[in-house]
Structure 1
Amino acid sequence: MRFYRSRIPLTQEELAERTGLSMRAISDMERGRTQTPQLRTVQLLVRGLRLQGEEAAEFTSLARAGRTRAAEAKPEVPAAVAAMSSYTLPPVLIELTGREAERKEVDGFAKDAASASRLQLAVIHGAPGAGKTALAVDAGHRLGSRFADGCVFLDLRGMDSAPLPADRAAHRLLRAFGLEERQIPADADDKLALYHSMLRDRTVLLVLDNAVNEAQVRPLLASSPGTLVLVTSRNTMTGLDARHRLCVDMLPLDRSVALLGAVAGEHRVAAEPSSAERVAELCGGMPLALLIAGNRLASRPQWTIRHLAEQLEDERRRLSVLRAGDLQVRAAFEISYHQLGPGAAALFRRLALVPGSDISTELAAVLAERAEEALEELADASLLGISETPGRYTCHDLLRVFAVERMELDEDPAVVREVGTRLRHWLLAVATRAGRLFDHDNPEPVQDRESAGRWLALELENWRGALRSAVALGEHEQVLALAKAMHWYSDMHGVGELWREVFSAGVEAAQALGSARDTAEQLNYLSWALYALCGQPHDALVVHEKAAAIMANDTLTEAWTWYYGSAIRRRVGEPEKAVWLGRRAVELFEQAGYLIGENLALSLLGLMLSTVGSVDEAIEVQERGVSQHREAGGDDELLSMMLIRLATTLAAAGQVLASLELLDEAESLFSKHGTTAGVARVRHNRGIVLMDVGRLHEAKVELLSALDETRLSDHRIEIMARLAELANATGEAADAREMRVRALAECDRYDTPAVRGTAAGLAAALTH
């Protein structure tokens, strides 16, 4: 009865007025003095407490049976502690799942409080639906008996339209301390003074749940050695002098699935593991959403988990699906949203226009005025998370869906279009400028390039999303400008799928604009992405032939066409044709007076010549390219790529020491500029050279270091195959088998003669 009264919440006096019962009668029932109330009394209480359905039936049954709330199976504790420990502490309806680490932290808070000379304050904060209250209630039930005067729980109703004032909170806490109504002063200040006095004389675990802000909590704090106050709030409460802070984040995937199983039934989750994971992903690890999803499944045994996952896939329905009785994800979000100031609310809505999952202060300023202030308000309200990268904020997927809803409800469509266009054009323009800083023809200061690289990496989701929107809207000029700007940047950054998309968009934009030269250029870049990064040389050959068929009337474009064609022909097993195209590319670059292209073509030609056995000529042309590049003071990254190619050829000629020296220089240059993909390429090649001369331990170190960073399509296969050979040579049969299995799985992704040969060798080794 005390729980249901506090849930509304009502004082005993208010419940007496509502039901027509006396305060003494209500007090006697709550304290267990009256255990068999009359049926009429029970009916009045059911109406007064607004109980319905199962709750009303259970309440009536308990009253009729004369049961008390005391749990006889619990360990014996002093009567005063038992009374306070049960005061208003909500029951644990489902075991706390996936919060083992957070539990340990709270246990540590309690341990610190036991030896502290003053009151210990801990703030538990997090996004709506993260499970802050569940963690605090769990702590109350588990840890309350450690405190001499037990545990007291009070809902401060911080998310209500009228949060509980401090004096009313103190009134309820005084009742929890055992005072009768007539003993509590009417004056608010006197009430707080009495509360402080009584708290100082007690050692309690005080849970102040659902606080709205610091001003609501401060009056309820007082010096009390050994006492621990747990404050839960969506607000970060940065203004409180808290000894401990715990941010309750979303659950990782495995713990999300465990929570779903705890609610819906472990047998159902075990029967559909992939669908359960998908539901957990679509709930974003949010405990409230997972609880609702589990309840929906539990109440609908005919449903499959896959059916629920399909419902959640639709973003426009997702928040409506995540509703079970009075539990609603949308309602939890709305409470926080409606407490925002106008500027923060506007920015929150417009986050729906941001393609990626995080946002910078700079990008937010494009969406709304006074963006930094609004971002901080959203972060304080836990509607945005703080990224590990300073100056950036993260937005939960479900909150983003809610932002879309609010934008459609609260924003003028014309304003939305204008802001969306402004954001898209800003992202495309900044990405294009950043990409151009990597143009080796017009080198900028190194620090500018490094800053541009950081921006492109951090904002990848956002500028890529802006590109997709621009493609859909037919903004061909902006699309082509970005694709052209990414030529040199793509050499050492990003993955194959990204550049296939970017340069495919570039091809379509160039064709729409009627530019033959730009079309051929973008086809060349696309062919490179397909053979070098995506492992699709035959598709690359088709694209290359389209580029070769275009009459661009531009010597430089034609030179690049033969340059990429040479590399593709080598990949598809046509080395002689690759050599011919390589020589033609060198001639055309020289004819165009483009030294960077000439040096790169000489370097590539060396690889082709080495493939057909002309090692001496290969070394000669590659050394010529390196020498010319050094004399011209060329770019470090291009020099490093040429050094790797030359080192490979020297190693094939038996010049191991010279090869290793060049690789050391290349790694030093890549490291200087923070080019991790380049460093991985060096270590890959160094590992092979060392392995071939019998320095097996060093080779293993190099190859393992390169494995996770390499980005070229079939290099991972070669590294894993080599590591398998090394493991075999050192008697590590299990490791060798694991590497061969992994390498063979990768082989299915690529269709080249070299990979097919490697796959056959791996399969043969696995069968012996």
Structure 2
Amino acid sequence: MSTTAFGDFLRFYRSRVPLTQEELADRTGLSTRAISDMERGRTLSPQYRTVQLLIGGLGLRDEEAAEFTALARASRVVAAEERPEVPLATSSSLPPVLIELTGRDTEKELLDGFAADASSSSRLQIAVVHGAPGSGKTALAVDAGHRLGAGFTDGCVFLDLCGTDPEPLTPGQAAHRLLRSFGVDERQIPADPDDKLSLHRSQLRDRTVLLVLDNAANEAQVRPLLASSPGTLILLTSRRTLTGLDARHRLPLELLPPHRSVELLRAVTGPERLDAEPEAAERVAELCGGMPLALLIAGNRLTSRPQWTIRHLADQLEDEERRLSVLRAGDLQVRAAFEISYHQLSPNAATLFRRLALVPSPEAGAALAAALTCDAEEALEELADVSLLGISETPGRYTRHDLLHVFAAERLELDDTPAAVDQARTRLRHWLLDTATRAARFFDHDVPAARTGPVHDKDSAARWLELELENWRSATKEALAADEHDRVLALAQAMHWYSDMHGVGELWREVFQAGADAARHLGNARAAAEQLNYLSWSLYALSGRPHEALAVHEQAAAIPTGTITEAWTCYYGSAIRRRIGEPQTAVSLGHRSVALFEQAGYRIGENLALSLLGLMLHTTGALAEAAEVQQRSVDQHRKADGDDELLSMMLIRLATTLAAAGQVIAALDLFDEAESLFRRHSNTAGTARVQHQRGLVLVDAGRFGEAREQLLAALSEVRLSDQRVEVLDRLAALADAAGDAAEAREFRVRALAECDRYDTPAVRVTAARLVAALS
């Protein structure tokens, strides 16, 4: 039978309907080119699925459908007889697997799925695997070729496109090599590059193959090599994301997590050696940053040096200035892998890449990058496209690998003058400090904020301060060392109200100590006292160190200041005295604070001082008086249409006092209002404070199930120093009441561990009780 018989009948049945080739393509999902090739006899062996799609599209039934299927089958047989054997050389074209692919189970499953999709689809199936230099793209592709190649009728063909070489393969050169892999005689390969590509595409359309095109340079290199063939999968690997290709599947190859990194190190080095030094092995894996190439090199260095301990290698890697030099084994070099991509960057992208070494955080956004170079967004996208930066889960931000950070620092020293580096560092530091100061002022009740740059309202300010915390915190230290006292003091002053609901004790001890030092250098006594007040707050409220707080408070109290600053000093002193077990002194200072704020006409301070005074009175047992002054603070604040979050804090204190006085229902209503206000502003720390206090009230009311739910919800976000101990202690008591001794013991152990962090009389009493209960 002629091999054109199937094509003749296809044309006949299509004309009978009648349908154009384009209309039949729309009906079947096949390409117009594929239909044309079958009708002209260029496709000699249509796949079974293709034939079934055609039968449906042509409306063939019964005998005609059976005859059409038989014609297709006969055509495949004749085509096989007429076409010479094609030595696809699946095994020889694929590089060997030298070490078992480790830590990529998820990626292997995805590739299995891509192959399954190809077998059941009529459209061109392209899968792009992209990732940073050294992330193991080729290893994954080679593993896929060996595992999945046998599932394709015509096997697997592998071609290295040499995309990172100084002169990558041209499309014509790549087509020539692929044609030889397809078994085309060298004498039949055209000299003209376009003719080569045309012949390559026709050969590919006649086959069902796994075509692995490794190390692609860019879209222009691979686009001419793509052709549609039902059942074929084209697997591309590249450092570039190749976003210009219409790829059916994309697989960004992430770095290995810690436990997978150790697994790869074990596969290279051997289990006995790693099991002898597990902690050192984990450290080596961590310093390699989850990069497969680095882990492979580290493992090879260990196996080639059996006299070394793993600890010795870890100690070598600890030194950032030597790390990339250590990660070298023969012709395998992490630095060399990075240099290839770096030297292909545009000048502006290369400049940004180097200067990002000045950024402490592994993440950066366009606004920060703009402080380092012009056209920052374009440069960031270029760096992401070549996988020298990753894409953060936070939209608009980019991530950087640890080893790439080390490499960027090397290039910064090599390629920039010291003067240029200093200028860039100073520009970045000033931008971070100025932006952080503006952002913090959105939380300030006294100073208006400027709506410029990346912060334009309270939500964007909170988001920026959290995302850039590591960077502006580091910039504060640098500025203090550089004697930029004005900037440091401005930032510390702006952070006062923001710190009320955000951040941890260590951060604010650092910031407010820096603020106090800056104020002293500037000779600003009032500002120094203010900063010492805030520092004392961070010590007693967030760090559980009330005796240190008292010493700092006394320094502040010794400085002559204006009325408002003196009122704040009394305010913080009152809270400290309560913490160290001097409630009457706390009440006295509380009254003094209220009077001074009232004298100065500063209503925000007066209302907060009234609320705190109520807490001091509550401690002494004067519940009626406590409720009275706290209600006054709430009423005055409402009348002045004051800040929601400050109101919420006042409501919590009032609710706690009312509950202690037996007014549980009224207290719970106030807790609900406070929580709704905190949630309106996405204030998780404030919400946790409500849940904590509500939980305690519910315990006392005997509503144990609800109490446990509230305390557990508060546990992850509770912020004040000794409150975590109190939450865990109450949860242990609730577990006892529920008859769960194991859970009660767990909570007590955790509470006792927390007690070591705080030095207050109340915590010491709790610790002694916990020890007794655990004995």
The normalised TM-score by structure 1 is: 0.87
Q: How is 1:441-520 mapped onto 2 (pairs within 5 angstroms)?
A: 441-442=446-447, 448-520=457-529
Show the counterpart of 2:169: 164
Deviates more, 1:236-245 or 1:632-641: 632-641
- Asked if 2 retains the 8 angstrom alpha-carbon contact of 1:356 and 1:465, the reply is no
Residue in 2 aligned with 1:289?
294
Cα drift, residue 584 of structure 1 = 1.8
- The alignment of Structure 1 onto Structure 2 pairs a total of residues equal to 688
331, 344, 359: which is aligned to 1:326? 331
Q: CA RMSD in A?
A: 1.7
Pair 1:82–1:195, CA change in 2 (3 A): closer
Paired position in structure 1 for 2:725 = 717
Match in the other structure for 1:235: 240
Change (3 A) 1:631 1:476: same
**Separation in 2 of the partners of 1:278 and 1:715?**
35
User: Is structure 2 residue 395 aligned with structure 1 residue 386?
Assistant: no
Q: Which amino acid aligns with 2:488?
A: V
- Aligned-partner Cα distance in 2 for 1:315–1:562: 49
Query: CA offset at residue 159 of structure 1?
Result: 0.3
Give yes or no for contact 1:492–1:675 (8 Å, CA) kept in 2. Answer: yes
Deviation at 1:210, TM superposition (A): 0.4
Could you list the per-position Cα deviations for residues 417-450 of structure 1 after superposition, in whole angstroms to 9, with x for gaps in the alignment?
2222111111111111111221112466997222
Q: 2:259, 2:623 → 1: CA distance? A: 54
What's the CA shift string for 1:726-757, capped at 9, x where partnerless? 12212222222221111111111111111112
Give runs of aligned pairs for residues 424-439 of structure 1, distance below 5 A: 424-439=429-444
1:189 paired to 2:194: yes
Amino acid at match of 2:765: G
1:292-691 to structure 2, matched below 5 A, reads 292-442=297-447, 448-550=457-559, 552-691=560-699
2: CA distance between counterparts of 1:529 and 1:301?
Answer: 52
Q: Any residues of structure 2 matched to 1:57-96 within 5 Å, and which? A: 84-96=89-101
CA distance in 1, matches of 2:87, 2:556: 83
Cα 1:618–1:506 change in 2 (3 A) is same
Alpha-carbon separation, structure 1, partners of 2:149 and 2:565 = 76
For 1:109, the equivalent position in structure 2 comes to 114
Instruction: Classify the secondary structure of the residue corresponding to 1:86.
Output: helix
User: Could you tell which deviates more after superposition, 704-713 or 573-582?
Assistant: 573-582
SS of corresponding position for 1:720 = helix
- In 2: Cα distance, 1:519 partner to 1:720 partner: 37
Distance 1:330 1:124 in 2: 22
Distance of 1:260 and 1:268 partners within structure 2:
10
- 1:169 and 1:732 map into 2 onto residues whose CA distance is 69
Q: Once structures 1 and 2 are overlaid, which stretch shifts more, 341-350 or 81-90?
A: 81-90
Give 1:83 shift: 5.6
The secondary structure found in structure 2 opposite 1:235 is coil
> Could you tell me which residue of structure 1 aligns to residue 756 of structure 2?
748
Q: Is contact 1:548-1:561 (8 Å) kept?
A: yes
Deviations along 1:321-346, whole A, 9 cap, x unmatched?
A: 11111111111110001111111111
Q: Give the equivalent residue in structure 2 for 1:706.
A: 714
Partner of 2:152: 147
- Residue type of the partner of 1:530? L
Q: Where do 5+ consecutive residues of structure 1 fail to align? A: 1-78
Give the partner amino acid of 2:772. Answer: A
Q: CA separation of 1:268/1:568 partners in 2, compared to 1, >3 Å: closer, same or farther?
A: farther
Q: Distance in 2 between matches of 1:430 and 1:688?
A: 40
2:427 counterpart letter in structure 1: R
Matched, 1:257 2:262: yes
Q: Distance in 1 between matches of 2:89 and 2:716?
A: 56
Equivalence for 1:57? none
Structure-1 separation of matches of 2:539 and 2:89 = 69
Unaligned runs of 5+ in 2: 1-83
Contact 1:81 1:145 in 2 (8 A): no
8 Å CA contact 2:88–2:183 kept in 1: the answer is no
1:619-639: CA deviation from partner (whole Å, max 9, x where unpaired): 111111111111111111111
CA 1:81–1:304 in structure 2 vs 1: closer, same or farther (change >3 Å)?
Answer: farther
- Give the Å deviation of 1:481: 0.7
1:703 maps to amino acid = L
CA distance in 1, matches of 2:485, 2:307: 51
**Contact kept? 2:218, 2:240, Cα under 8 Å:** yes
The 1:188–1:511 alpha-carbon spacing in structure 2 relative to 1, beyond 3 Å, is same
Deviation at 1:81, TM superposition (A): 9.3
Distance 1:458 1:760 in 2: 40
TM-score for both structures, normalised by structure 2: 0.87
Identity %: 73
Q: Partner of 1:61 in structure 2?
A: none
CA offsets per residue over residues 432-484 of structure 1, 9 Å max, x none? 11112211124669972222111111211221121121112111111111001
Residue 99 of structure 1 and its aligned partner are, at CA, apart by 0.9
What's the counterpart of residue 10 of structure 2?
none
Q: Which amino acid aligns with 2:672?
A: D
Task: Name the CA shift for 1:511/1:201 in 2 (closer, same or farther; >3 Å).
Answer: same
Q: For residues 574 and 740 of structure 1, what CA distance do their matches in structure 2 show? A: 28
The Cα of 1:88 is off from its aligned counterpart by 2.2
Deviates more, 1:728-737 or 1:109-118: 728-737
In structure 2, how many angstroms separate the alpha carbons of the residues matched to 1:271 and 1:504?
45
Q: Which residue does the alignment assign to 1:222?
A: 227
Task: Give the superposition deviation at 1:294.
Answer: 1.6
Instruction: Specify whether residues 237 and 348 from structure 1 end up closer, same or farther in structure 2 by C-alpha distance, changes over 3 A only.
Output: same
Aligned to 2:66: none
Maintained 8 Å contact 2:692/2:711: yes
1:511 and 1:632 map into 2 onto residues whose CA distance is 36
Q: Name the structure 1 match of 2:54.
A: none
Specify the SS of the correspondent of 2:92.
coil
Q: 2:703 aligns to what?
A: 695
In structure 2, how many angstroms separate the alpha carbons of the residues matched to 1:472 and 1:273?
A: 40
TM-superposed CA distance for 1:492, in Å, is: 0.5
Helix, strand or coil at the partner of 2:496: coil
- Paired residue type of 1:492: M
Distance 1:160 1:103 in 2: 27
Secondary structure of the corresponding residue to residue 487 of structure 1: helix
SS in 2 for 1:486: helix
Q: Structure 1 residues 82, 538: closer, same or farther in 2, change over 3 A?
A: farther
Provide Cα deviations, 1:251-285, integer angstroms capped at 9, x if missing partner: 11111122122222223333333322222222211
Q: Tell me, in whole angstroms, the C-alpha distance in 2 between the residues paired with 1:220 and 1:532.
A: 66
> Is residue 2:141 matched to residue 1:136?
yes
1:396 to partner: Cα distance: 1.2
The DSSP-based 3-state class of the residue aligned with 1:189 is: helix
Question: Does structure 1 conserve the Cα–Cα contact (< 8 Å) formed by 2:634 and 2:647?
Answer: yes
- Does the aligned pair in 1 maintain the 2:652–2:671 contact within 8 Å? yes
